[in-house]
């Protein structure tokens, strides 16, 4: 019995082991928390950087009209952001995300420039929009005259006249094509208008204005031709109208999740 008792660890030894276990558990918890914070930081980094860079930005489903320092007027579409530089006579804007329409105050001595990811527009006084997408920027001219060049390449350039548009990508400018600003830029009036567009294209556009999530689990409707005029005051109703027209079923889950089949 004496030997058994002597073999038992002393109270300080037991306390030491308990402290080590607590320290190990605490360190593990701290490491997990740190990893979670890093993951959240990486996930939030693009949004944080956008807020840091932008002078003006809009949330999903919102639009905003701003009078710029030179008197020109800028209208931002949903989830859009710009940075501006009007110092020392400059009139320069960077479209960081989304789409913006510009009604430019004429000033022949100070060109008005808008640069997106791949294309740059230069004007003296006109009305046009620039949209930044993942693979290309789109420029649509409503009135006036604009020059479009590819960012970093002054050789590739084109001129647009009213009712024309062009796409700028990393490698080239597309050909100039016809556009109908009354439908292409209908978002300014709170509408989206499509004529003989594919179901997949329309379904890519409407969710840009929807604060929830749209999940498509059946691809059989993708190439169906769609013509419609959708009110952006109720995007969910617009998505339901689109689904009905395509013969798709729709289910709504809590949290603003819409599933199309």
> Tell me: the pLDDT tens digits for 101-141?
999 999 989 999 999 999 999 998 899 999 999 999 999 99
pLDDT at residue 103, rounded to an integer:
97
pLDDT at residue 11, rounded to an integer:
53
**Cβ atoms 230, 187 nearer than 8 A:** no
pLDDT at residue 152, rounded to an integer:
84
> Tell me: the pLDDT tens digits for 10-61?
555 555 555 555 555 555 555 565 555 454 455 456 677 888 899 999 999 9
Computed over every residue of the chain, the mean pLDDT equals 87
C-alpha of 143 from chain center: 26
> Tell me: the pLDDT tens digits for 194-221?
999 999 999 999 999 999 999 998 888 8
The residue ranges of DSSP E strands in 104-209, in sequence order, are 112-115, 119-123, 127-132, 136-143, 146-150, 153-160, 164-169, 177-178, 191-198
Choice between 87 and 21, residue whose per-residue pLDDT is larger = 87
pLDDT at residue 32, rounded to an integer:
61
CB within 8 Å of 107: residues ≥ 6 apart:
70, 91, 124, 125
pLDDT at residue 46, rounded to an integer:
66
Phi, psi for 199 (deg, rounded to 5): -55, -40
Choice between 30 and 145, residue whose per-residue pLDDT is larger = 145
> Tell me: the pLDDT tens digits for 219-235?
888 999 999 999 999 99
pLDDT at residue 26, rounded to an integer:
59
Per-residue pLDDT averaged across 83-102, rounded?
96
pLDDT at residue 146, rounded to an integer:
96
The residue ranges of DSSP E strands in 7-145, in sequence order, are 56-57, 64-67, 73-76, 81-85, 92-103, 112-115, 119-123, 127-132, 136-143
Residue 5 has pLDDT above 50, yes or no: no
Per-residue pLDDT averaged across 57-70, rounded?
96
d(CA 235, CA 61): 9
Tell me the C-alpha to C-alpha distance, in Å, between residue 135 and each of 117, 170, 177, 178, 220: 9, 8, 18, 20, 25
Percent of the chain with pLDDT over 70: 82
The confidence band for 242, taking pLDDT boundaries of 50, 70 and 90, is very high
Phi, psi for 156 (deg, rounded to 5): -75, 110
- Nearest residue to 162 (alpha-carbon basis) of 179, 183, 187: 179
């Amino acid at each position: 019995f004496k030997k058994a008792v002597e073999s038992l660890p002393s109270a300080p030894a037991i306390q030491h082991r308990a402290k080590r276990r607590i320290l190990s558990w605490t360190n593990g918890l701290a490491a997990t928390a740190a990893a979670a914070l890093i993951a959240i930081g990486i996930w939030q980094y693009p949004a944080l950087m956008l807020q840091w860079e932008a002078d003006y930005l809009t949330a999903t489903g919102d639009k905003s009209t701003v009078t710029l320092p030179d008197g020109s007027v800028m209208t931002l579409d949903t989830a859009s952001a710009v940075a501006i530089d009007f110092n020392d006579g400059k009139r320069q804007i960077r479209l960081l995300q989304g789409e913006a329409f510009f009604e430019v105050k004429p000033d022949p001595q100070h060109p008005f420039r808008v640069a997106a990811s791949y294309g740059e527009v230069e004007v003296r006084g006109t009305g046009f929009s620039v949209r930044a997408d993942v693979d290309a920027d789109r420029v649509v001219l409503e009135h006036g005259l604009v020059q479009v060049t590819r960012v970093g390449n002054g050789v590739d350039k084109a001129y647009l006249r009213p009712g024309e548009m062009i796409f700028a990508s990393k490698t080239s400018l597309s050909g100039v094509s016809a556009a109908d600003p009354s439908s292409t830029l209908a978002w300014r009036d709170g509408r989206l208008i499509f004529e003989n567009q594919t179901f997949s294209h329309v379904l890519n556009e409407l969710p840009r204005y929807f604060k929830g999530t749209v999940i498509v689990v059946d691809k059989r409707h993708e190439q169906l031709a769609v013509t419609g005029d959708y009110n952006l005051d109720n995007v969910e109703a617009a998505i339901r109208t689109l689904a009905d027209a395509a013969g798709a079923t729709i289910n709504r889950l809590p949290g603003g999740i819409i599933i199309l089949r």
